[in-house]
Amino acid sequence: MAKNTKTTRHAVSGKLLTRPLGKGKAERFTAVEGLKKSPASRALSGRLRDDGLKGDAYRAGVVKAFKKA
């Protein structure tokens, strides 16, 4: 699963910058689109967060949970 990125320009140098979208931006996007987490996804998210996973490790846990055997 690839990270969603946003492209901007640095104010001083004018170079292009890309950075992953944060949790807040992703939550606002899903609210606008009318998407809601299922109870199973909510439980998985809580379990992964409780394990202390962040970033790539968190994404890998989500992908692993939804992969077909």
The pLDDT tens digits for 23-59 are 777 788 888 888 888 898 889 989 999 999 988 898 8
The two three-digit tokens of residue 47, written as one number: 């379990």
- Find the mean pLDDT for residues 1-9: 65
The pLDDT score that the predictor gives to residue 43 is 92
Strand (E) or helix (H) holding 8: strand 5-9
Task: Give the three-class secondary structure for 19.
Answer: strand
